[in-house]
C-alpha cells in the first residue's frame, strides 16, 4: 500500500493541481464492490448494449453456445484490462489524467486527456438524445403525440424531452459523486427487474414454441465468410471494443473504491457474470420476438411498442431513460469533466469541466437527427477510439514494467525541471514516438480495407503494439530506475 504522505501534496504547482485531481485519501473513499458492479451493469443494460448482445447471436452464424462463450471470454478480457488500469488509482487515489502523467509527462498527459474528452463529449451528446427518446415515448403514451411539426428534426415533444434529460443529467452530476453512485445503485437492479419482466411476458406469449426457436439459434447457420473461428473472435473483439471507451479512464472510478479487493469483486460480478446473465435475457427475448411477431427484433423500444401495453410502455420508458442516463454519466460525462479540468487545474474544476462538457454536448445532441447523423461521423469517432488504444498500452506498460508499480505522487504534480515526470519540457518524447507508430496501425484498421478484418479487435492489437514500443524505447530508463531504487 502507498505511504500516507502520497495523499498530501507538499509543493503544489497550481497549473497541475486542484481539489478534484488531488489524490483521494483512503478515508474519503466510500465505494464498495456493489458500486463498481453497477458501473458495469448500467453500461451493459443501455439500449445499445441490449441491441448489441441480441445481434451477436444472429449475425455471425455461430451456434448459440459459441456466441455465449465468446461473450463470457470478452467479459474476462475486459475485467483483466480494467484491473490493470484500476489498480494504480486504487493505490494512489488519482484519476486517469493524473495517472497519464507518469508515462506521457506532466504536460504530455493533456494529449490523451483531450482525445478521450473529445470522444466522450461527442457520445455524451448522442446518448443524451437517445435518452430523450425514452422520455418522449413516456410523454406520448400519457398525453398523445402532439404536433408533428419539426425544428431541426425534433418535434415539440422531442425538444421538451431533450431539455428534460439535459437538465436532469447536469443536476445529478452537480450533486456530487455520491449521488451518482446512488443513482447507479438504483438503476442497475431496476433495469434488470424490468428486463426480466419483459422476458417473462414474451415467453408467456410465445409459449412452448420459444424453445424451438432457441434451438434454431443455438444450432447456428454457419454462414460467416471467415469460418467459425473467425466468427468467434469477431464476437469477442466486438464486445471488447464496446467497453474500450471506459477501459482507459477506469481510474476515474476506481479511485473512489475502498480497496483493491472491492474493485476486483465488483469487476467480476459486473463484467463476466452480469454480461452473461444479461446476454441470456437478450437471447430469450430475441427468440421470443420471432415467435410472437414473426420477425427478429433486437431493439427493445420496438419490442415494447409491439406489445402494445400502456403500463409496460410507461415502465419501460422510465427504465430505458434510467439505463441510458446511467451509462452516459459513467462513460461520457465524468471522464471529460476530469479531462478538461486537467488542462488548467488552477482555473477549471471538475464541476466546471462538467458544465463545459454539457454545453458542447447540448449542440451535438440537438443537431444529431438533422445534421450530424448524416455526416458519416462514425469513422471520425472510430478514429479517435483507435488513437486511444496505444495510449492504454503505453500507460499499462509504463506502470507495471517501467515503474514496477511505484509512483512518486509528489512529482505527478510538479513541473520543476529534473522532477521524475518532467522529461523534456513536460513531455515524454519516447512515449509520443511509441504512440505515433502504434496509432498508425490502429487508425489504419479503421480506414484501410485490407485491415477491415481487424476492425473488431484492432483496439487490442493497437494497445499491445503501443505497450511493446514504449517498453522497448524506455528500457534504459527502466534500468536506471531499478538501480536508483536498489541504491535507495
Helices and strands, number each (H, E), in the chain = 21, 2
Res 4: pLDDT: 46
Please, what is the average pLDDT of the chain?
Answer: 83
Cell of 97: 489524467
Name the CATH architecture for the domain at 13-482: Orthogonal Bundle (1.10)
Bridge partners of residue 154, in order along the sequence: 151
402-448 pLDDT tens trace: 999 999 998 999 888 888 898 888 999 999 999 989 988 888 877 77
Question: Is the Cβ–Cβ distance between 283 and 214 less than 8 Å?
Answer: yes
Which region among 146-150, 158-162, 317-321 has the lowest average model confidence (pLDDT)? 146-150
Pick the residue with more confidence: 451 or 363?
363
Domain-wise residue ranges, the chain: 13-482
Q: How far apart are CA 102 and CA 95, in angstroms?
A: 12
User: pLDDT by residue (tens digit) across 219-258?
Assistant: 766 566 667 787 788 788 878 877 877 888 899 889 999 9
Please compute the mean of the pLDDT values over residues 17-33 and round it to a whole number: 88
CB 125 within 8 A of CB 155: no
pLDDT band at residue 53 using 50, 70 and 90 as cut-offs: confident
Please give the DSSP secondary-structure letter assigned to residue 11. S
- pLDDT score of 269 more than 90: yes
- Could you tell me the pLDDT band of residue 267, with boundaries at 50, 70 and 90? very high
Annotate 421-444 with DSSP letters as a single string: TTTBTTB-HHHHHHHHHHHHHHHH
* Whether residue 153 has pLDDT greater than 50: yes
- Determine which helix (DSSP H) or strand (DSSP E) holds 154, and give its type and residue range: strand 154-155
Better-scored residue on pLDDT, 312 or 358? 358
Angstrom distances, CA of residue 287 to CA of 48, 56, 202, 214, 476? 18, 13, 9, 6, 57
Give pLDDT, residue 398.
Answer: 94
Which one has a higher pLDDT value, 254 or 151? 254
3-state helix, strand, coil in the chain (%, to 5): 75, 0, 25
pLDDT above 80: residue 263: yes
What's the pLDDT score for residue 61?
73
pLDDT score of 91: 94
Predicted pLDDT of residue 458: 72
290 — pLDDT class (breaks 50, 70, 90): confident
Each residue's pLDDT tens digit, 98-122: 999 999 999 999 888 888 888 888 8
- Confidence at 8, pLDDT banded by 50, 70, 90: low
Q: What's the pTM? A: 0.84
Amino acid at each position: 500500500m502507498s505511504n500516507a504522505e502520497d495523499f498530501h501534496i507538499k509543493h503544489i504547482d497550481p497549473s497541475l493541481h486542484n481539489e478534484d485531481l488531488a489524490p483521494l485519501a483512503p478515508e474519503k473513499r466510500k465505494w464498495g464492490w456493489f458500486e463498481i458492479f453497477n458501473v458495469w451493469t448500467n453500461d451493459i443494460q443501455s439500449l445499445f448494449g441490449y441491441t448489441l448482445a441480441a445481434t451477436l447471436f444472429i449475425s455471425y452464424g455461430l451456434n448459440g453456445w459459441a456466441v455465449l462463450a465468446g461473450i463470457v471470454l470478452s467479459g474476462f478480457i475486459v475485467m483483466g484490462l480494467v484491473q490493470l488500469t484500476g489498480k494504480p488509482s486504487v493505490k494512489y487515489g488519482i484519476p486517469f489524467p493524473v495517472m497519464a502523467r507518469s508515462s506521457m509527462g506532466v504536460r504530455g498527459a493533456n494529449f490523451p486527456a483531450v482525445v478521450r474528452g473529445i470522444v466522450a463529449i461527442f457520445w455524451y451528446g448522442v446518448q443524451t438524445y437517445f435518452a430523450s427518446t425514452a422520455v418522449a415515448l413516456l410523454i406520448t403514451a400519457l398525453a398523445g403525440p402532439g404536433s408533428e411539426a419539426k425544428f431541426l428534426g425534433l418535434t415539440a415533444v422531442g425538444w421538451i424531452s431533450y431539455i428534460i434529460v439535459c437538465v436532469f443529467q447536469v443536476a445529478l452530476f452537480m450533486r456530487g459523486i455520491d449521488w451518482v453512485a446512488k443513482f447507479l445503485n438504483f438503476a442497475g437492479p431496476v433495469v434488470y427487474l424490468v428486463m426480466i419482466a419483459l422476458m417473462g411476458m414474451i415467453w408467456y406469449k410465445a409459449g412452448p414454441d420459444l424453445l424451438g426457436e432457441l434451438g434454431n439459434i443455438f444450432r447456428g447457420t454457419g454462414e460467416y465468410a471467415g469460418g467459425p473461428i473467425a466468427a468467434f473472435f469477431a464476437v469477442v473483439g466486438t464486445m471488447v471494443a464496446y467497453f474500450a471507451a471506459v477501459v482507459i479512464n477506469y481510474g476515474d472510478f476506481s479511485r473512489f473504491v475502498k480497496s483493491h479487493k472491492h474493485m476486483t469483486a465488483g469487476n467480476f460480478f459486473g463484467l463476466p457474470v452480469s454480461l452473461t446473465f444479461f446476454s441470456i435475457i437478450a437471447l430469450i427475448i430475441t427468440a421470443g420476438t420471432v415467435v410472437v411477431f414473426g420477425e427478429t427484433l433486437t431493439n427493445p423500444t420496438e419490442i415494447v411498442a409491439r406489445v402494445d401495453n400502456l403500463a409496460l410502455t410507461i415502465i419501460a420508458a422510465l427504465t430505458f431513460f434510467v439505463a441510458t442516463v446511467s451509462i452516459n454519466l459513467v462513460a461520457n460525462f465524468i471522464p471529460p469533466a476530469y479531462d478538461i479540468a486537467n488542462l488548467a487545474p488552477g482555473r477549471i474544476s471538475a464541476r466546471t469541466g462538467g458544465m463545459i462538457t454539457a454545453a458542447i454536448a447540448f449542440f451535438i445532441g440537438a443537431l444529431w437527427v438533422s445534421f450530424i447523423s448524416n455526416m458519416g461521423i462514425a469513422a471520425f469517432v472510430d478514429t479517435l477510439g483507435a488513437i486511444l488504444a496505444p495510449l492504454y498500452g503505453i500507460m499499462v506498460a509504463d506502470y507495471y514494467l517501467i515503474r514496477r508499480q511505484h509512483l512518486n505522487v509528489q512529482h505527478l504534480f510538479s513541473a520543476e525541471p529534473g522532477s521524475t515526470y518532467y522529461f523534456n519540457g513536460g513531455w515524454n518524447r519516447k512515449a509520443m514516438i511509441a504512440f505515433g507508430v502504434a496509432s498508425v496501425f490502429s487508425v489504419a484498421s479503421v480506414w484501410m480495407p485490407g485491415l477491415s478484418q481487424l476492425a473488431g479487435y484492432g483496439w487490442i492489437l493497437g494497445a499491445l503494439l503501443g505497450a511493446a514500443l514504449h517498453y522497448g524505447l524506455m528500457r534504459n530508463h527502466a534500468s536506471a530506475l531499478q538501480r536508483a531504487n536498489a541504491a535507495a
